Structure 1
């Protein structure tokens, strides 16, 4: 509970700060005053006076560009809120409501973060403005590539420009880091589009399985968002190839794509007015301003310009200089000027050769920053190198550094943010640039005791696995392999709402695949495949096929490395095969890959005797069920029927009512595919009864789904009246989910049946409702409903 309180206090402080410095404060003021005044029976007027003081301090810090001062206010609030929640845990929901309010009204994270002590790039932004204006006049999207050496501020420059134009980009803001993973592999645009289509509100059932289809669906969704909300902004970092970039361009007039990388491709298809711009090192004046802001020095600007000139205008190197100048000792500036004046000592301080002096190699510069850190921030820096690349959250750090107080963790994290090595990514998330993460890992390997290093990683993976398995328990009741460890945990898992569990995993989405890769790479094979097992429901529900398949390929290799656990290998083959079948891309040869993986799972499950037989028989049944679904997709109804019968036989004697109900439902579908309509009707009715009598309560979703499938079967055998009855039952069963994709599908088909029966008025009512629901859900099927309404009467 203490970790949860610390995490909520941290994100709560960030939220209160974001409200205090925006016009949205009036919206949340009452709740903030009530919350802050709860402890010590404070006088309401005194509380309001204190809040106004905080607002003035924050306003002054923002005016001066002093994020150190702003961070100090946030840290003060976090400490206060943590103490308050420990005394009054009933206030947690009130603080959570403030967090939700702040999240609803703040700038998108991609625009609100990573603009620490920002200076200059005025000339660059003028070029970007000119290009954007030309594109607007030509009614085409603006595509701008900001190229430059690491450390020159490409990412910050892009976000600063975007933030300055936030009033124009009122539609979705979509961002992605296209950098390489632990294996040196480029980020896959397919995975980016999976995430973006979900962010744009496209229902999972509407998303294509192949990259060209996803890209087309993305552009169509951007066009709809542009009409309904305003222009879309795309932010891509660390891009290297045309293949990465082109599928992710919105191609909608008024929209913009800002891309950063070392050098741009020569030309981008679909971007006729593509502008590659170079991000230059800072001039002397802005460089000196950056040193002054970060260091807090008040010396004459000429002295700081002289100092900056010797560094070469690289913002990262300038921060290193500024960090050294924070010392209150007299003579620090003079000593540092002398060190930078001589070639050898300058190289020693910054760790650069003359060829590197503008920032091409910053490892030595990072060494200087690291060497100047106090003990706790230095330890935290090493710990961050041991974690997977990507985003991280403070609650993870609280768990790993359990010997520190949460306030000490926040202070150390703030010190790393102040020095520019850690960047804010969201209200409760942070990130390291890949090159910084590499350096932090190098320092951990050199300076951290090997046993302690392994212990910290063990703690991380144990906590992540526990978190993932608890989330899986909230999302699904399915059986998991390794019952001696998993099942007791599942019994004690909190009965969280599925949407909450899914949201918690989504917050950590960027680090899930890297975590699986790192677990396997460091010999924690058991953790790697079990993480994959626990992520099944999340990937299935979100349709994140690229990440699903990438993680499970590693999970399969990890399971194979566990030579004493063939059932783990079978589970990974099964889950990987199901992922291919669910994606169903002809370009990716998913039908063949799915069959091969599922048949491998089936062979291993039938050969395994490692856990008394039940786990093997459950896996055998699951593989046969998936092979039956694969056969249905391939229109092999007889083969599907045989698979489902064998799957039921494998479960003989095992208490698994939901599994039996699903197999009955699938059997009904197979009969329908074979045009054995009476058998299908019988099995649909039996499936509904089994879903109704589940020990966990009726499964209304699958009951309605069985009515819908039976309606399709009745229509196919020429019984529209019976089909209409089934659809009426399905509509009644989905009445509590008025904006669901399932309900819209039911109403669309019911409209079709009513039109066939000659009731045009009723048909138009259902088509209109279906159109409105599909529109609300961002589904392209709204167009099909409108075509029906526009068709001949």
Structure 2
């Protein structure tokens, strides 16, 4: 009897049985995503819109594909607040596959959003696909088992939406936009029509109710004064909130004084009235708080970490909350409503000190990113901010804290890089500073955009070289070419690798023109070796790694030499030169352990490679000792442990112990599945073979350590 499963590719545990009970282990390594930010405090009306959303939700049983809902309306009308309020009232069972959220807007690429979504699902970042279509396919695969809600806030074009559809047919994609997004129908190959929901301005009665709700007095003001304020608010909920906050200020004259001030301004056109309400809220602030508000106008986006305001304008966050100008967006983070941020931008632009405000914001992000980078990696960097007494070394306690602090600001880092006023030197520092974060989290789209900007800025600076500054600018250009090449190599599509090769060559040439820089030239050669290895040309890779070692000359770089020995050993094993591989990997192991701070993790990864090389050489017994040492280091569930267990199973099979082999392969399968790794197929194929044979073990196969879990390049 043959007992098998067919009909598709499965990611995760597969159980067959007549009666199956209990809870299956595995699935997402990080739980079910619940990414919604906080909604507005106090909510009124919108009964018709919420009923419409409820009806769409109730009709999911009839769906053969996810439904798209577009909430559109004017700026400040409350589209986001409505959607967040509705979604936060839903039970978790409504969307068992999770709730995803992304702030869209001009310039936000769907690939960057997909990288974030897939990362939140727990997929190893080493397995992120390299192209937008492949990312979309992976997201659909990962979300095929349970209905999901995807909230896309502030969409500006239909092109931002099409790839962000989850895989379960009972899912919903909910979009807020100022536009109707009429092009969505043309982009849907099935010709499906979205559900469009126009969000109108609030009526006068609802505005008055919201005013009293924010004021905290259900039986509060009424009459002509409140009517005047409501008219000035033009039906925009956020304006009503600010007006109520202003009226609640103990030093104000309440709603009557607010109405009188509005009346003294002459009667503006209805759509201009909200601006005056904002002006009144701003004018009631202390001068120091006003400066803090203008600082937020210099900030390139409307959402930010509380730490930014607390460090650059201490003491202003509380008064801005009290005035209704600021709201909570998540733990440790705040935001301005889009309309309010626009008002702050106007005030900042009119401030004679605007350049200083902007410089303060840019410098804060550069130093914060640099502080995180110093925790994330010990690699060498060119920028002066990373060394010396001025280096921001004590900002974060450890790597986990640095990642948690910087991850929510990833889009702000790009926004800072894209500011026309950001100086080339600051932009290049930022490109070096984001390296560790984006490498760890796999945010390739953002990473490549920032490094492209840095290459352009450094190139412009180098083209205007003087004799005094030419060498420094040339070296800076070399490092930016290297940073872009590295990001492209890490993403790894065929087009990326071809472009990366050109930038590695440009890095070498720029370094030579600048008078030579062994580290940069060696790292560029190493990068070219990685490209050759990715193209399954181990002999070319080994040659390039050898050139990288020679390029170091007498430069003191013990860790870089250890890493190059590792890469040379891996290439030699892939080329079938097993004895040379054994010698080089042994050299790498000794070098990692001889560092001033022994690199035990990279030593363990080297031992795993030693075991794979011994298997490839047909010496499975010699694989057992390095495997045992590697397994001891890889105690926690990880791709490295799963790889080691899989290879141990291969060794057991080669040594004639099929029972031990199957036990290891089953454990590897469960580990891969729990990590949402596509390598689950490596174990499944072994278990499914009639004779249990794994097939030839390639030392450069996907079952081996690679990506962020392998020894990183020397840099």
TM-score by length of 1: 0.75
Q: Does 1:449 align with 2:352?
A: yes
Aligned length: 646
The 1:422–1:106 alpha-carbon spacing in structure 2 relative to 1, beyond 3 Å, is farther
Matched residues in 2 for 1:439 and 1:703: separation? 55
The 1:292–1:301 alpha-carbon spacing in structure 2 relative to 1, beyond 3 Å, is farther
The 1:460–1:666 alpha-carbon spacing in structure 2 relative to 1, beyond 3 Å, is same
Shift of 1:687: 1.1
The 1:340–1:369 alpha-carbon spacing in structure 2 relative to 1, beyond 3 Å, is closer
Aligned to 2:493: 585
Shift of 1:580: 0.6
Shift of 1:757: 4.2
Q: Does 1:132 align with 2:28?
A: no
After the TM superposition, which residues 3-14 of structure 1 pair with which residues of structure 2 at under 5 Å, given as runs? Answer: none
Q: Does 1:410 align with 2:317?
A: yes
Give yes or no for contact 1:387–1:457 (8 Å, CA) kept in 2. yes
Shift of 1:495: 8.2
Q: Does 1:264 align with 2:181?
A: yes
The 1:731–1:414 alpha-carbon spacing in structure 2 relative to 1, beyond 3 Å, is same
After the TM superposition, which residues 209-288 of structure 1 pair with which residues of structure 2 at under 5 Å, given as runs? Answer: 209-223=130-144, 226=146, 231-262=147-178, 263-265=180-182, 266-267=184-185, 269=188, 272=192, 274-288=194-208
After the TM superposition, which residues 281-680 of structure 1 pair with which residues of structure 2 at under 5 Å, given as runs? Answer: 281-295=201-215, 298-300=220-222, 304=226, 308=230, 311-319=233-241, 321-322=243-244, 325-326=247-248, 345-347=266-268, 351=272, 366-401=278-313, 404=314, 408-416=315-323, 418=324, 421-446=325-350, 448-450=351-353, 453-483=354-384, 486-489=387-390, 493=394, 496-518=397-419, 521-563=420-462, 564=469, 565-586=473-494, 589-609=495-515, 616-680=517-581
Listed one character per residue, the Cα deviations across residues 574-620 of structure 1 (whole Å, up to 9, x for unaligned) are 0100111110123xx112210111110000112223xxx6xx21111
Listed one character per residue, the Cα deviations across residues 613-650 of structure 1 (whole Å, up to 9, x for unaligned) are 6xx21111111111111121123333322322221122
Shift of 1:306: 7.3
Matched residues in 2 for 1:537 and 1:280: separation? 45
Q: Does 1:173 align with 2:99?
A: yes
Shift of 1:555: 1.8
Aligned to 1:754: 652
Pairwise CA RMSD of aligned residues? 3.2
Listed one character per residue, the Cα deviations across residues 56-115 of structure 1 (whole Å, up to 9, x for unaligned) are xxxxxxxxxxxxxxxxxxxxxxxxxxxxxxxxxxxxxxxxxxxxxxxx99995625x131
Give yes or no for contact 1:380–1:412 (8 Å, CA) kept in 2. no
Listed one character per residue, the Cα deviations across residues 339-365 of structure 1 (whole Å, up to 9, x for unaligned) are 8899x933168626xxxxxxxxx6566
Q: Does 1:150 align with 2:75?
A: yes
Unaligned runs of 5+ in 1: 1-103, 181-185, 353-361
The 1:505–1:716 alpha-carbon spacing in structure 2 relative to 1, beyond 3 Å, is same
Give yes or no for contact 1:235–1:259 (8 Å, CA) kept in 2. yes
The 1:464–1:314 alpha-carbon spacing in structure 2 relative to 1, beyond 3 Å, is closer
Give yes or no for contact 2:526–2:544 (8 Å, CA) kept in 1. yes
Shift of 1:187: 0.5
Give yes or no for contact 1:526–1:562 (8 Å, CA) kept in 2. no
Of residues 367-376 and 653-662 in structure 1, the stretch that sits farther from structure 2 once superposed is 367-376
1:522 is paired with a residue of what secondary structure? coil
Give yes or no for contact 1:581–1:591 (8 Å, CA) kept in 2. yes
Listed one character per residue, the Cα deviations across residues 190-243 of structure 1 (whole Å, up to 9, x for unaligned) are 11111111111111122211111111211222235x3xxxx4322111113332
Matched residues in 1 for 2:85 and 2:654: separation? 57
Give yes or no for contact 2:365–2:413 (8 Å, CA) kept in 1. no
After the TM superposition, which residues 687-726 of structure 1 pair with which residues of structure 2 at under 5 Å, given as runs? Answer: 687-697=588-598, 699-723=599-623, 726=626
Listed one character per residue, the Cα deviations across residues 20-67 of structure 1 (whole Å, up to 9, x for unaligned) are xxxxxxxxxxxxxxxxxxxxxxxxxxxxxxxxxxxxxxxxxxxxxxxx
Aligned to 1:10: none
Matched residues in 2 for 1:312 and 1:318: separation? 9
2:197 is paired with a residue of what secondary structure? strand
Give yes or no for contact 1:595–1:630 (8 Å, CA) kept in 2. yes
1:766 is paired with a residue of what secondary structure? helix
TM-score by length of 2: 0.83
Matched residues in 1 for 2:337 and 2:385: separation? 40
Aligned to 1:742: 640
Give yes or no for contact 1:351–1:365 (8 Å, CA) kept in 2. no
1:508 is paired with a residue of what secondary structure? helix
Matched residues in 1 for 2:683 and 2:31: separation? 34
Unaligned runs of 5+ in 2: 1-29, 463-468, 692-715
Matched residues in 2 for 1:275 and 1:582: separation? 39
2:555 is paired with a residue of what secondary structure? coil
Matched residues in 2 for 1:330 and 1:720: separation? 82
Listed one character per residue, the Cα deviations across residues 401-439 of structure 1 (whole Å, up to 9, x for unaligned) are 2xx5xxx323223134x2xx4331112101234453333
Listed one character per residue, the Cα deviations across residues 647-679 of structure 1 (whole Å, up to 9, x for unaligned) are 112222222111000111111122223322221
Matched residues in 1 for 2:50 and 2:260: separation? 35
Listed one character per residue, the Cα deviations across residues 489-542 of structure 1 (whole Å, up to 9, x for unaligned) are 459557843222222221322311112223xx2142211111111221221121
Matched residues in 2 for 1:462 and 1:313: separation? 39
Of residues 254-263 and 123-132 in structure 1, the stretch that sits farther from structure 2 once superposed is 254-263
Listed one character per residue, the Cα deviations across residues 416-464 of structure 1 (whole Å, up to 9, x for unaligned) are 4x2xx43311121012344533331221121x333xx333333333333
The 1:652–1:539 alpha-carbon spacing in structure 2 relative to 1, beyond 3 Å, is same
Instruction: Select which of 651, 665, 668 maps to 1:770.
Output: 668
1:351 is paired with a residue of what secondary structure? helix
Matched residues in 2 for 1:727 and 1:591: separation? 32
Give yes or no for contact 1:710–1:723 (8 Å, CA) kept in 2. yes
Give yes or no for contact 1:143–1:275 (8 Å, CA) kept in 2. yes
Shift of 1:335: 7.3
The 1:381–1:718 alpha-carbon spacing in structure 2 relative to 1, beyond 3 Å, is same
Give yes or no for contact 1:390–1:511 (8 Å, CA) kept in 2. no
Larger RCO: 1 or 2 (CA < 8 Å, sep 6+):
2
Matched residues in 1 for 2:230 and 2:384: separation? 61
Give yes or no for contact 1:669–1:709 (8 Å, CA) kept in 2. yes
